[in-house]
Structure 1
Amino acid sequence: MIKINGKRLAKFLGLKAIRLLILLIVIAAISFIMIQLSPIDPVKAYLGQRLVSQEQLAIVGEYWGTNLSLGERVMGWLQTLASGSMGFSLIYRAPVTEVIIQKFTASFTLMLVSWVISAVVGFGLGVIAGAKEGTIIDKAIKTYCYILQSSPTFWIGLVILMVFSVYLRWFPIGLSVPIGQLSDTVTFWQWLYRLILPAFTLSIVGIASLTMYTRDKLISVKKSDYFLFSQARGESFWGIIKNHGIRNILIPAITVQFMSFNELFGGTILVEQVFAYPGIGQATVAAGLRSDVPLLLGIVLISATFVFVGNLLADVIYEYVDPRIRSENDE
């Protein structure tokens, strides 16, 4: 049974919360300054090819605050953020918070399904490769992982899209709902049918690293004294793997999986573009191309928080769930 020191955990989480707050402030300020120093004029990017007079440009610039100095814009945005608001999206004509909630909900579903798939497949392949070290199965799995690690996510997505959607026509080309149908009327099976390819593509991001890590950890376990002693006692090989090997590599593997949140979020942007999936990735690209500063900054803060939470969960699991780590730290 896992016993956790409440005071120690509270102190640990408190320090992490302070670190997150400082991190968000620094990221917000740096991101805002970098965007404001960009040569792209947000007013002209928003208006596009429409012909407007200089007076109209000045009116729009004054409304958006682009006529203010850099310091005034930074302080104004930080004050807006401190009030609990992220501003107003220029391209979606809605509060940034509402846009992020709507887009991130769709992306989170995609990331969660992909994360589970990569965890199960990656861990399973790692166990098989580690148990069959040096065999043709091990070499095949390693080659598969090397190919995944050396291939860009968007290229893999395009190949999967061409094979299964264009040539075989087993799945739709893109979008999360059928064309001409409202999202409220989409059935669960329709939604799942359109989620399969994006989720499968995104899961590839984390399979290779987890597989190789699990393989190496299991090989180390196989060389340990207690593993060799169990073999000398006559226990079956797969019985030892199940009772001793998997138990010793599971916590480190889960830790590595939680630490892959940053790769998962980055892969989401590329996958959503390939499959035209209306999530946070598409919103990020749209905000960047059309210089929607409030939305882009809001997404930066949310993505930083998302990655930080993933690393925090990894730290908690590593330090508070593994009894060996707890016993070492309590001494």
Structure 2
Amino acid sequence: MPQLMPTHSYAILSAGFRLVLLLILVVLLAYLLLSWTPIDPLNAYLGGNVFGISEPQKALLAQQLSLDQSVGQRLLHWLSGLARGDLGFSTLYQQPVSSVIATHLPLSLLLIGLSWVGSLVLGYLLGLLAGIYQDSWLDKAVQRFSWLMVCMPSFWLAMLFISLFSIALQLTPVCCAAPIGMTFSEQSVLSMLHHLLLPVATLTVVSMAPIVLHTREKVIDVLQSDYVQYSLAHGDSLLKVVRFHVIRNSLLPAIVLQFATFAELFGGSLIAETVFSFPGLGASMVKAGLASDTDLLMGCTLISALMVFSGNLIATVLSRYFIQEAGDA
């Protein structure tokens, strides 16, 4: 145990250093991109009232919003507030950025979490069946479906689901996370599931293709291995082999891959929330970008970077554990 402590300490320090470096690069790049956007922050803030105020009033408003400063000065001002735990003020929502994130982030986490579990479970089961029944009609159907999902844009699938289930069949709501006039927490559990069904289904179907294809290849490799062939030769049933060998050697790699592809799932949630008018963090990021709400967009960007980094870190830790277990075996 004493010999392992320096290795663990080095890994923690390395992860912390990479996180700090990532956040610095994300902040600098995001702020530079915002400074180059063709959207005028002042006109976006005024909206349709841009011609209703005088030039002196515009100058005073620009001073209040710190738009009269250079990009470097605004960045230093935002970083100084960040060091004090202040993410700034959202001109779009007219409230602190921390309050906006606290309101919308839980909805995004719920949507992403359900989609993450759904794509892992369904993707693994389909990949497992395709690998077991290799070259069968089921295997070919699963592969074609997976490759189709890889090529399909999430926004197109979302609009297809809305057209089919919400408009044609009238089985699900067209949009939003709750009935009109209610917040998400005020509705019943069944109503929550009803409004979450289409967004979760969209993200689940779009993001499970890598799990299906990876699990299929892993299952085939395990079934063709020497120890599985030896087990089958000694009379073990296929069900027993799948339970004690295939699932054991294919489930953990699928979980690792699912964490590693968390960035793609998060990116898909931005589009799904926008199409379904789901009031999560992704929809807030899109609105902040269109309204040139710098503070809100920077706060959402930081949270997004932390979430993606956490997913990649978990995948790295699990992959190292998997390699170590394989080496010990």
TM-score by length of 1: 0.94
- Where does residue 40 of structure 1 map in the other structure? 39
Q: Do the aligned partners of 2:184 and 2:192 also contact (CA within 8 Å) in 1?
A: no
Q: Do the aligned partners of 1:171 and 1:194 also contact (CA within 8 Å) in 2?
A: yes
Q: Do the aligned partners of 1:96 and 1:294 also contact (CA within 8 Å) in 2?
A: yes
- Where does residue 244 of structure 1 map in the other structure? 245
- Where does residue 253 of structure 1 map in the other structure? 254
Counterpart amino acid of 2:195? R
Alpha-carbon separation, structure 1, partners of 2:327 and 2:321: 6
- Where does residue 234 of structure 1 map in the other structure? 235
- Where does residue 27 of structure 2 map in the other structure? 28
Q: Do the aligned partners of 2:285 and 2:300 also contact (CA within 8 Å) in 1?
A: yes
- Where does residue 106 of structure 2 map in the other structure? 105
Counterpart amino acid of 1:57? K
Q: How many residues are matched?
A: 325
Change in CA separation of 1:325 and 1:228 when aligned onto 2, cut-off 3 Å: closer
Q: Do the aligned partners of 2:285 and 2:297 also contact (CA within 8 Å) in 1?
A: yes
Counterpart amino acid of 1:98? S
| Root mean square deviation of aligned Cα | 1.7
Counterpart amino acid of 1:67? D
Counterpart amino acid of 2:8? L
Matches within 5 A, 1:91-130: 91-130=92-131
Dislocated runs of 4+, deviation >6 Å:
none
Change in CA separation of 1:183 and 1:63 when aligned onto 2, cut-off 3 Å: same
Alpha-carbon separation, structure 1, partners of 2:135 and 2:327: 35
- Where does residue 200 of structure 2 map in the other structure? 199
Counterpart amino acid of 1:124? L
Alpha-carbon separation, structure 2, partners of 1:292 and 1:47: 12
Alpha-carbon separation, structure 2, partners of 1:168 and 1:153: 21
Matches within 5 A, 1:99-178: 99-178=100-179
Q: Do the aligned partners of 1:319 and 1:326 also contact (CA within 8 Å) in 2?
A: no
Change in CA separation of 1:171 and 1:19 when aligned onto 2, cut-off 3 Å: same
Alpha-carbon separation, structure 1, partners of 2:326 and 2:7: 14
Structure 1 spans left out of the alignment, 5+ residues: none
Structure 2 spans left out of the alignment, 5+ residues: none
Q: For each residue in 1:18-71, what CA deviation from the matched residue of structure 2 results, as whole angstroms up to 9, or x when unmatched?
A: 210111012101211210122221011111221221111111111111111222
| Partner SS for 2:170 | coil
Alpha-carbon separation, structure 2, partners of 1:245 and 1:278: 41
Question: How far 1:320 sits from its partner (Å)?
Answer: 2.9
1:190 aligned onto 2:191: yes
| Partner SS for 2:231 | helix
- Where does residue 74 of structure 1 map in the other structure? 75
| Partner SS for 1:49 | helix
Change in CA separation of 1:5 and 1:113 when aligned onto 2, cut-off 3 Å: farther
Question: How far 1:10 sits from its partner (Å)?
Answer: 3.9
Question: How far 1:72 sits from its partner (Å)?
Answer: 1.4
Alpha-carbon separation, structure 2, partners of 1:182 and 1:256: 35
Matches within 5 A, 1:287-306: 287-306=288-307
Question: How far 1:274 sits from its partner (Å)?
Answer: 1.5
Alpha-carbon separation, structure 1, partners of 2:279 and 2:122: 26
Alpha-carbon separation, structure 2, partners of 1:298 and 1:5: 37
Q: Do the aligned partners of 1:320 and 1:326 also contact (CA within 8 Å) in 2?
A: no
Question: How far 1:304 sits from its partner (Å)?
Answer: 0.8
Change in CA separation of 1:304 and 1:49 when aligned onto 2, cut-off 3 Å: same
Q: For each residue in 1:186-235, what CA deviation from the matched residue of structure 2 results, as whole angstroms up to 9, or x when unmatched?
A: 11111111111111111112211100000011111122111111111111
TM-score by length of 2: 0.94
Counterpart amino acid of 2:55? Q
Q: Do the aligned partners of 1:205 and 1:263 also contact (CA within 8 Å) in 2?
A: no
Alpha-carbon separation, structure 1, partners of 2:314 and 2:109: 17
Q: Do the aligned partners of 1:206 and 1:257 also contact (CA within 8 Å) in 2?
A: no
Alpha-carbon separation, structure 1, partners of 2:183 and 2:314: 36
Q: Do the aligned partners of 2:39 and 2:292 also contact (CA within 8 Å) in 1?
A: yes
Is 113-122 or 226-235 further displaced after alignment?
226-235
